[in-house]
Structure 1
Amino acid sequence: MTTDSSDLSQVDEEAKLDLTQQIRDAILGGEFAPHQRLIEADISARFDATRAAVRTALLNLTGEGLVERLPNRGARVRAISVDEAVEIVEVRIGLESLCARKAAVNITDADIEELRGVRAQIEAAVASGHLVEYARLNQEMDRRIRDIGGHETATRLLERLRAQSARHQFRLAFHPGRASQSAPEHIAIIDAVLARDPDAAEAATRAHLEGIVDVLRHLD
Structure 2
Amino acid sequence: MPKIAASTPTYLRIADLIRKDIFAGSFIAGQRLKILDLAKRYVTSQMPIRESLHILQGEGLVRVLPNRGAVVQAINEKFLADHYDMLKAIEMLLVRNAAEVASSDVLDFVKAEAVKFNKAVGKGDVASCLRADKRFHRAINRLSGNDLALDFVERQSKIPDAQRLRVGYGLERLREASGEHEKLIDALAANDGDQAAKIIDAHLTGAKEDLFLRLAASDDIRFSGFGRKAGSGW
Which category of TM-score, normalised to the shorter sequence, fits these structures? Answer: 0.7 to 0.9
Q: What is the letter of the counterpart of residue 116 of structure 2?
A: Q
Q: Does 1:51 align with 2:46?
A: yes
Deviations along 1:80-134, whole A, 9 cap, x unmatched? Answer: 3222211221222221111111112223454223212101111222233333211
The alignment partner of 2:157 has SS state of helix
Q: How does 1:70-85 map to 2 (within 5 A)?
A: 75=70, 77-78=72-73, 80-85=75-80
Quote the residue 2:12 is aligned against: 21
Q: What is the letter of the counterpart of residue 181 of structure 1?
A: E
Quote the residue 1:159 is aligned against: 154
Query: For the residues of structure 2 that align with 1:206 and 1:172, how far apart are their CA atoms?
Result: 22
Deviations along 1:148-199, whole A, 9 cap, x unmatched? Answer: 1112232233233212332334356423532122221233223322443322
Q: How does 1:97-108 map to 2 (within 5 A)?
A: 97-108=92-103
Q: How does 1:112-191 map to 2 (within 5 A)?
A: 112-170=107-165, 173-175=168-170, 177-191=172-186
Query: For the residues of structure 2 that align with 1:172 and 1:96, how far apart are their CA atoms?
Result: 24
> Could you say if the C-alpha distance between residues 63 and 119 of structure 1 is closer, same or farther in structure 2, counting changes exceeding 3 Å?
closer
> Could you say if the C-alpha distance between residues 46 and 216 of structure 1 is closer, same or farther in structure 2, counting changes exceeding 3 Å?
closer
- Which 5+ residue runs of structure 2 have no aligned equivalent? 1-7, 217-234
Q: What is the letter of the counterpart of residue 115 of structure 2?
A: A
Q: What is the letter of the counterpart of residue 56 of structure 2?
A: L
Contact map agreement 1:61 1:67 (CA 8 A) in 2: yes
Query: For the residues of structure 2 that align with 1:217 and 1:100, how far apart are their CA atoms?
Result: 25
The alignment partner of 2:117 has SS state of helix
Q: What is the letter of the counterpart of residue 154 of structure 1?
A: A
Percentage identity across paired residues of the two chains = 28
Contact map agreement 1:80 1:164 (CA 8 A) in 2: no
Query: For the residues of structure 2 that align with 1:133 and 1:121, how far apart are their CA atoms?
Result: 9
> Could you say if the C-alpha distance between residues 56 and 119 of structure 1 is closer, same or farther in structure 2, counting changes exceeding 3 Å?
closer
Q: What is the letter of the counterpart of residue 126 of structure 1?
A: V
Q: Does 1:197 align with 2:188?
A: no
Contact map agreement 1:82 1:216 (CA 8 A) in 2: no
1:46 to partner: Cα distance: 6.6
- Which 5+ residue runs of structure 1 have no aligned equivalent? 1-16
Q: What is the letter of the counterpart of residue 120 of structure 1?
A: V
Query: For the residues of structure 1 that align with 2:77 and 2:171, how far apart are their CA atoms?
Result: 18
| Number of residue-to-residue matches in the alignment | 203
1:74 to partner: Cα distance: 5.2
Quote the residue 2:210 is aligned against: 215
Residue among 26, 38, 60 paired with 2:55: 60
The alignment partner of 2:128 has SS state of helix
Quote the residue 1:93 is aligned against: 88
Contact map agreement 1:66 1:163 (CA 8 A) in 2: no
The structure with more helix, counted as a fraction of residues: 1
The alignment partner of 1:165 has SS state of helix
Quote the residue 1:11 is aligned against: none
Q: TM-score, normalised by structure 1?
A: 0.74
Q: What do you get for the CA RMSD once the two structures are aligned?
A: 3.1
